[in-house]
Amino acid sequence: MVKLKDTILEADILVTCNPKNSIIKDAAVYVSNGLIRGVGTKREIHKEFSATKIVDGNNKILSPGLVNTHSHSVQTFLRGKADDFALLDWLKKVVLPEEARFASEEVYNSSLLGFAEMIRTGTTTANDMLTTHDSDFGIKAAKEIGIRTRIGKMLMDYSNDFPEIIIEDTETVIESARKQIDEYHQTQNGRVKYSLNARFLLSCSSELMKLIVETKDEYDDLMIHSHASESQAECAEVVRIFGDSYFRSLKKLNALGSETILAHGIWLDDDEYNLVEQTNTRITHNPSSNSKLASGICDVLRYHKLGIIVGIGTDGPPCNNNFDMFQDMRLAAFLQKIKHLDELALPAEKVLRMATIEGAQAINWGTEIGSVEVGKKADLVMTNIDEVNSFPLYNPVSHLVYSASGKDVSMTMIDGEIVFQDGNYLTIDIEKVKRTATEYQEKWTE
């Protein structure tokens, strides 16, 4: 990690994602002590500020770091092991059994590899779910690499034909979560915050959900993070077990609200959409995962018409199979155009905001990150525009959403510190991490 007291980052184009969606050419941003202190043209910034380091932004777009509102870093070692399954089979036959046999070092290295891919592809913040066991090692990985994250262990106490090794009794689940909250919440200069990760209703008892809500209410700035209404088969099981639809069941458990973010949210009836609106619950759209698992298409436009905040997430490598938010931005736009047969649905500017400032708002971090504005945390990304996929470049926002990929990212800064630059990871030994993935593959290849 390059620790810098003050830095000026230059760029051919600055995409701010501020309230006016301002775009500045021949731009520069002054960063001091982890915060953005100046935004303007190169001439303006150099006239007003001096810095110990200047980052050259020739042939670069500078923009806010991307906010991944739903990820499973710990599943990275399972990339390519769970292809072509429906959701419940995907969970029962591959993902949950594989997660259950992770040793502590595998939790650490799998999470670290996932976070490495995120920062390599422009994600500076992740809302991340870990495992039920040894999850402290996943949090350790997040702390060491320097990513900003809401993170926590996976909370499950109900077997429902799932592998019993990953199920804990209700009190143990809550006690271990509280211990992690006390140890990790709002640490690393506020860069690490805890998340109460209830996997989904099919693995959580009513008693556990009530205790999760109580725990959330006892602490400042905690959020509940869960999956909901992802597939029709899952929704049918919820009705069988809880006696009502997914979102009505969550409402009865007092689990909806502005401190809850739910992944997927595809199969809702009219009343359930109204519940999301009335409670100000947040939604994270995961277009690649939903497409690969054939779960359905989230109606993002309907959520937006109701004033509901929606972020974009990658989900995990077994169902994506990567953490490239550029890919998910592009697909999010395309799927809404197909779903509504409307070429104007979810334009590029709106999609980019979903992946930046609105993603930050979805996880209650919007006052600090998600846009390039004076006073905000310096979470910034440079994207190369000198490759063949960048010519011609008429509109930088269109380019970022429809043409760019995570591999175009040349620099990632989090909290004012450069964690990735020009192919180099500055906080971890990436070759060592890659070797651990290969070793895991060789160990478990049948």
In tens, the pLDDT along 139-175 reads: 999 999 999 999 999 999 987 776 666 778 999 999 9
CB burial readout 190-225, b (16+ within 10 A) else e? ebbbbbbbbbbbbbbbeebbebbbebbeeeeebbbb
Q: Please, is 46 exposed, middle or buried when counting C-beta atoms within 10 Å of its C-beta (0-12, 13-18, 19+)?
A: middle
CA 211 to the chain's CA centroid: 25
Q: Locate 149 and state its tokens.
A: 């994250």
Are 123 and 325 a contacting pair, CB within 8 Å?
yes
Integer angstrom CA distances of residue 164 from 74, 105, 107, 233: 19, 21, 18, 21
Q: Locate 441 and state its tokens.
A: 């593959």
Which residues contact residue 132 at a Cβ distance below 8 angstroms, ignoring those fewer than 6 apart? 99, 153, 154, 155, 156, 166, 167, 168, 173
Q: What pLDDT, on a 0 to 100 scale, did the predictor assign at position 81? A: 82
* pLDDT tens-place string over residues 361-383: 999 999 999 999 999 999 999 99
Question: How far is it, in rounded angstroms, from Cα 289 to Cα 284?
Answer: 12
Length of the chain: 446
- Residue ranges with strand state E in 72-204: 123-129, 148-152, 154-155, 192-198
Q: What pLDDT, on a 0 to 100 scale, did the predictor assign at position 3? A: 54
Q: Locate 381 and state its tokens.
A: 């990304």
Q: What pLDDT, on a 0 to 100 scale, did the predictor assign at position 259? A: 98
User: Mind listing the domains of the chain with CATH numbers?
Assistant: 7-65+371-415 (2.30.40.10), 66-363 (3.20.20.140)
Question: How far is it, in rounded angstroms, from Cα 164 to Cα 157?
Answer: 9
pTM of this structure: 0.97
Using 70 as the pLDDT threshold, list the residues of the chain that sit under it: 1-4, 162-165, 446
* Greatest distance between any 2 Cα atoms in the chain: 66
Q: What pLDDT, on a 0 to 100 scale, did the predictor assign at position 85? A: 81
**Residue 410 CB-half CA count within 13 A:** 17
DSSP state of 63: E
Q: What pLDDT, on a 0 to 100 scale, did the predictor assign at position 100? A: 84
